[in-house]
Structure 1
Amino acid sequence: MKFEIEGRAREISLEAAVIAGYTGRDRKAVDAHIDELAEQGIAPPATVPAFFSISPDTLTFAEHIEVLHMETSGEVEILIVVDNGEAFVGIGSDHTDRRTERLDIGVSKQLCRKPIGHELWPLETVQDRWDELHLASDISISGVRSRYQEGLAATNISPMELLEMVPFEVRPKRYVLFTGTIPVMGGIRHADRFDGSVTDLAQGRSLRLSYEVLVQNWLDEG
């Protein structure tokens, strides 16, 4: 995939992609969230944090993705992209099939494309103020846009700690790690459009992501 780093194009042939879940620093809050999901029929994870492998082919720079039904949704996440020992910060959306999530979280992570942004920052340029990075997302439903998520990176485990926790059998040289999301406002819901941002307030710069969600199912399932 061709990324842009400090104004220069860089091709990174990703070997692996991993999604981290339940990455909150407050373990009591994480446990409470797990209990809430259990009430919805979603099984608790085997480990906390939990890690799910997906194919790098699911990652996309496209401005739209296609899904098969209305029970899908995105969530803004900071990415760590590793290329031969160098680490970079990016933005992505862990767009997930919520219907399948109730049956198998790991499978649900593989069923939707994962939109990501082109631009990356060297991790070293934000590492000393990581907790201050601001995450936000908006969703649009029938043309009405509303704030969906907002919070700080301090909510979740720090990137260097999380990178060491990934249970790789053999650590690849080039991979991407989704580092976890922040709570949504008003409950998880499907939207026609998703807009996300990660903002470095100290430098006045942002990583941005926007995509439309198209429901494409030509079969009568009634």
Structure 2
Amino acid sequence: MDPEVIGAIIGVLATLGGVILAFYLANRLTLNDSMDSKSGWRKELMNIASKDEITLADIYRIRASVRYYPYPYSETNQLSFRWMSSLIINLCDEYFVETYRDKHVASYKCSNSSNFQPNVTISPENDEIVRIICRYLLKYHWEARQKMQIFRRGRDLMNIDDDEPSEDVARIIQLILEQVDKINSSSPQNIFQISAADQLKDILNTAFKKLTITTRRYLSK
């Protein structure tokens, strides 16, 4: 076959492949934008992160924004997004909800109105932990949108690698630990504060049951 004809065919195929790839990526981005705009996922997290007072209802919103159930820590790399998402779930379920649910029920009992909607606020130290979590989720989501990896079998093609240790997660953990220290040092200290700080430490210790060399390296930065 004439080399010029072969070259022309190759050129046409390359152009066609480029068009198909561009269409595919544009379609994925449009779908992602549509799902985000309809669900209001980012808007909800940004609203929570910018609030002066965080409520128990906000905790439920954050919990609804992550996985239905956590990955077992043993099946994820420490300081990866999967690991962090499991920690966020456990903080929501085992710490925030458990700590403030009784206040929520008590608010209903104290009200004489059947239409009363209790607005249970959480402590200032815990407020900041919630904001830290929201900022992390927003940052990860934004970077996942920017770093598209196309050919990844069996996983969301528009996400970045979410099971590799990240310096961002290490910074988040350090910020949370600073808040735990503030809860411990707040004055006057009461039984509720001591219990809350201990509960937070237990959840973090469970997540860090076995520190790897990589984890130590990231946390030491």
Question: Shorter-normalised TM-score: what interval?
Answer: under 0.3
Q: Which has the higher strand share?
A: 1
- TM normalised by structure 2 equals 0.24
| Larger relative contact order (CA 8 Å, sep ≥ 6) | 1
- TM normalised by structure 1 equals 0.24
